[in-house]
Structure 1
Amino acid sequence: MGGSAAVGGARVPGSPVSGGAPGRASVGGSAAVGGARVPGSSGSASVGSARPAVPGRASVGAAAVGGAAVGGAAVGGAAVGGAPVGRAVPGRASVRPVSPAGPGGPGGAGPGGTGPGRRGAAALSPDAAKRARRRKIANWSIAAFAVVIMLAGVSIVGLTYAFDDIPDINTFEPEISTVAYADGTELTKLGEHNRTVVPDEKISPLVKHAVAAAEDKKFYDHSGIDLKGIARAAWNNISGGNTQGASTITQQYARHAAELTGINYNRKIREALLARKIEDTYDKDQIISLYLNAIWFGRGAEGVEAAAKAYFNKSVTTPPGEKNAITASEAAVLAAVIKQPEPIKGGHAGYDPHYNLEASKERWGYTLDNMVEMGWLSAEDRAKAEYPEKSLVKYNPDGCVSECANSKPIGHVLKYVKAELEEMGITDWQQRPYRIKISINPAMQKAAEDAASRKSKSSPMSKTDENHQAALVAIDPTNGQVLAYYGGDDGQGFDYGGGNGGHNPGSTFKMYTIAAGLREGMSMDSYWDSTKNVDEERGGREISNAGRDDPACAKYCSLEKMTIDSFNVPFYWMTKEMGPEKVVAVARDAGIRTMWTDEDEVINLAEVEPSAVAPSKFDVEVGFGQYKVKVIEHVNGLATLANRGSYNKAHFVVSVEKKRADGEWVKVNGEQIKPEKKFDTEQIDSMLKVLQKIPGASDGNDHSLANDRPAFAKSGTWELGKEGGTNGDAWYLGATTQIAAGVWVGTSGARSAIKDPDGSDMYGGDTPGQIWEDFMNAANKAAKYEIESFPEGSFVGDPSVLANGVSPAPKAPENPNPGNNPNSSPSCQPFDFNCLFGNNPNNGGNNNGGNNNGGNNPGGNPTPPAPNPTNGIPGLPGNDDDDD
């Protein structure tokens, strides 16, 4: 053949190409691939700037790939039975032909078998000469076959070089996204890949040099190709021998980027071509940075930044010498691991010190020695270097590196976070790096888990039966941020806080019923008939009052008393009079989005009008909490009331940042706080005026907060119904101006009776109330919130609207002092002459010189005292215990 062929910009003497010189494409010619020009030479192999071959030396052709040579004469710079030709191709270790002769190779003493004392073929014994000829023929045959393959595929190789693009690390390397708490501390990583790509200029030079020293110490000098690896791959294809894949750092990155697998001739050719293209595109510092960001280090770490965190809890971005920077010794550990990060079953145990400390130390020393040789580490620092033992103790082989929080209580939060990202249109968080900041306060989260988890010895739940389960959610009323969330101990299991279902809210739902009544013009200063417990219009339906009865007020019980003592009867009639759809509408406006019917049909209140589902699906009993709701949504409604009628949607994601190609983070999304005024402020204030009396009077328990911090609350229970007469759900919801928190207690698995630790039936003011109190005190302390009061409310509306009670009957005044001497009466005060002279109705009669004339003569006609709206009726306490 004559002329030359140019492939990928390289000239190949031996075939006609424009501007090419005539030549031969036979043995003794050459092929150039990847931009290196190899002049034809009789009986020689020439590579790039390599020196001419020794004249007369046996050689069989050559193929140049980016400046590296393959041929029978020179393989990676190691001479075969002759003088060294050109310079050695940088790589891991050169491979000499196997020979039974001494350390000098086939010729005798001296490196490479050359130099004084080398014997020629004529000096060999007949047997030795015969063996040498066989070896030479075999070597020539192998090399010739490799060249034939290369020349035959030269056009394919050229096309591959021309059209095989370099994969962009920003498109093929999935990078980890992180989730941080409200205070900025990392909560967990999201996605399957634990990788954080670091720009080349930010990677510590110590790490780069250590990796080059371990993997390719001539990396900064060569053109990116290890041709001896290609020759070995060709030989392995022919002979079926063991695979050998030592490559330069550039080739290793090319293999990873193009997802090339196996060790064979075809892969090696493409790998070499891609490596040449990478070398033509990037500088050395960029190439090693791409490599470091891509490769696997074991311990779940993809890329050097994740590895630095996994092995030493450090960052490679910290400049050397600064606090918490990676040291040379630590960099050498990371570099040593690359060769084989993990054990191979039945094979080598790898170089992770956790699995194979001895091998790790050996390769660590090899790396440091190479760093000294290359001038990247001083001999003095090498002498002082100590193996960093902490690389051992940091590793938990059974632990996880991505989404590690899934199995913990906080795992439930991550489900909400992912859902919110989807709503924002962020669906590539598994492939692209995002930094997500959420609203969870870590101190409050701990307080929630300490208070509500049965695993916590300080929790009231720890002394309850094993099947008892609690849920707790806390929200900032001013912006809707979820501050703490506990839905169960297993973040991958059932979420009792709302992710997997709802619970009957019982009397806690009465807050919405009151708000609905206030919307209709009702007043908290109204009176109700507590004895009217049968609805004749509905077939004599009996209204359960849960055992509550107070004959002292009977037909004229104040709404305040009915709320605090949690009578059901007034709320039934209140709901029937205005319509259950009004209660459903208020619940929806406050924050309830999901309700379950008695048949467990899920109703999304955001998609239907209340009148379309009530009373058809939610009947009058909605007024006192018959239908199941989610804890998180119920607390969202509570937060709306605490915010004096302004609704903020409960949410977890506060901000989302995405990393640009240059490594800088830019904000792409986040919370948009848009309060919606849903209720009249004065009406809500009038309700809170009453609800603030409940924390101090809950089922005989005082749940007032520490330091007399003002709060309002409502407790509630729901009976098992068909399953039995005891309670199956117990709630306690309460709020300050800064935290709205709700607690539910029920059972896991089949719904069954809930009991306090002493075995008695559980009510909302019992264990749930104590959990709420414990959490609120701890949360306020952790957040260092100032003590704030709710505005002083006053009763508004018309007491006659909706109310079905009668005005309290006048009550005859009692005579507290039937005695003889008014001066001795404790009811008379100094200078109170009406009292002293018998003109006070409380005196019990006219005092005539100390003689009581009848004892019960009031001495006048007093007017009966007006009803006291804040204390029920005259003579009745306003803070009776709540049976809920």
Structure 2
Amino acid sequence: MGRAEERRARQRAGRRAAPKRSPRTTGSASVGAVGAVGTVSPDGAPVGGRAAARAARTRGKNGKNGKTGKSGIRRFFTWKTVLGSLFGFVLLVMGAFVALYVMTPIPTANADAMLQSNVYKYSDGSILTRSGKLNRETVDLAEVPKPVQHTFVAAENKTFYQDAGVDLRGTARGILNTLSGKGAQGGSTITQQYVKNYYLTQNQTVTRKLKELVISLKLDRKKSKDYILAGYINTSYYGRGAYGIQAAAQAYYHKDAKNLTVEQGAYLAALLQAPNQYDWAIATDTGKTLVQQRWNYVLNNMVQMHWLDEGKRQAMKFPVPLAPKGAPGMEGQTGYLVDAANAALEKQLVAQGTASTLSDAEALITKGGWTITLNVDKKKQTELERTVKQQLTSKLDQKKRAVDGAVQAGAVSVDPKTGKVLALYGGVDYFKHYTNNATRRDYQPASTFKPVILAAALDEGAKTQDGRQIDANTIYDGTSGRQVVDNGTKVGFAPPNEDDQDYGPITVQTAMNDSVNSVFAQMGVDVGMAEVMKVAGKLGMDTKGMQAVPAQTLGSMGASPMEMAGIYATLDNHGKKVTPTIIKSAERDNTAVTFPNPIGDQVITREAADTVTSVLTGVVDDGTAKTSVAANPARDGQQVAGKTGTSDNNKSAWFTGFTPNLVTSVGLFGEDPKTHAQVPMTGATGHVPGSPSGRINGGSYPALIWAAYTFEAMGEVSKFDLDTTQGAAVQPSVTPTLSQSPTTTPSSTPTSQKPTTQPPTSSAPPSSSPTTSRPPTSSAPPSATNSPSTPTPPENPLDPKGPKGGQ
């Protein structure tokens, strides 16, 4: 028998073995189905097929008698109930969204879309200026070149012409981030951004985001894409107080929107991501890099979307924006004051959580409605402006001397007891020089940093390499170009003194008077540069990113007049931290912004601060500021402390000084008017007082400006209340010999010593007419071993070689 026949035989046998259909019965017993269903026994139990198999499995799971069954929870959480619940939830959400869509109309423009003025006042309540005249001129989309229109789409929403006006995924992400407290996130379409700008607010709330979604959907159905794009580019904020593409074109390229090139349009489109950070005039190096990357991103997207030819794209160069033009009413010093106040308010809005970023805070302020009262005293502000003009700017003539055009002045005056900024000088004119010289931090403070080194030594109780306590009377080797040593090892730093002058063994007091680089370079290493920078930070210097290296003893970091005024105000305030504060109050919609107290904690001991103040009186009475400050006839016996500073190559010059009630820092900066690069100021004005070489040093114009302003603005004559037994304010100044230091090798006497034109000073307070000589005194500091008139050779002078340094 073949295989096929065998298979057919088996099939016939199977059919013969199949059970017969049971007759239909009455009652509860059901008739079993043939084969797959199985048969039913007289007692109702299945006896075959799949039904029997299921019954067997059930008995196996539920026990021998099959009476246990499923638990209550498992019966409830079946796939049917879960699926049904999910489906019901989806229907509920959809219903809620439909209801929200029906009930939410397209509103009228929000109040913030119609910009208001900000009112700025002096401390006495008189008006400084009003800003916020609507710097926006709406233009038809037809007036904007089509390629420029495309730059905004390429930058913000490549699917703009195809989408329904919303990005559901981006909106959902934004809502989740808002709920989880992660802050604002990107992802909105151009339609959504326009709705937010024009109809809603910048508040990051779930309600606002849902409204934005609904209104965007409705708007996209009712209005054309051109209408929405026109609204977007006309309401967006571009920085420089410019709302809308027309104002932005004027602000950055001094032209109308209809004349913008594709390259310029791409820059304006890139700006919208971070207007403050990407403004070329004030951007950091990082900001400039980021905006160029964004610009490239925009143009590359245009090529990808076939809106720009690849060849033309490759030939395009980044269009550097032109210098900003001042807004009406911002001329002179007004613009600098407003900018400084806005910057302070922006920082506080971010700190208290009102705005997520500085760019958001800037946009919030620019929208207007603020009343901002400054701490600036109107009379002192006028006096500072008059003094700078009288002492410096009236003497500058760029037509006669090209270098005169490079001289920039900045100054800040602070009340050390309250921290109030009483006056500020930002530059010759806000329209002519946009950068605020009072707050810029890109120039070296030079030797005005030396008091910080001494403050660190005194506060930390530091000692010299041979174990001597560092104070005003400690003796150091003032040899120019002397190698600095650390525990007997040369550190590779040997700064020369100004004009390579050798001073030999001198006290710290005399070293401060004459700004001796070699002494303070060694002192910085004795204290430890990490400790010096730590104290600098506590006093008010922004030390973030600064290296704790010996070169910093020359003040080689960047600092602003505002910053230096704060540091010296802290010294004047006996070591209690003073943060210069320009805003007295700021409010909007009857809601006031709360600012932190300008007077902080005790950051260095009172004795340390007062000793530094005492030492700094010697700079005025016997040192580098004697001619310009002490000899001023308007001084009238006023006690003064201060320090000069002149950077390497004469790129900056400073005088920061104070009386018991007024601290003022004056800085001069050499800046090329075209490239804005740092350049020397030597030779400016044609004749620099007290400087035959023509070098503008801290003791010349900066100190002259300081004295003329301070002695007019200070009020009644006053004296320092000092808790110290050291320094020129309480002790005479002497130049004794250098004591032995076991960490160095003896050598010969320094090549020269600065000649003395007068005997040591007396301990009496400065008079109104300082004399050129004072009676000698027999007292000497404890560490002095010989009369200053006959010094013995020092036992440890060091190698007088090293790189050039500034005063």
Give the TM-score, by structure 2 length: 0.47
TM-score when normalising by structure 1: 0.43
Q: Which is helix-richer, 1 or 2?
A: 2
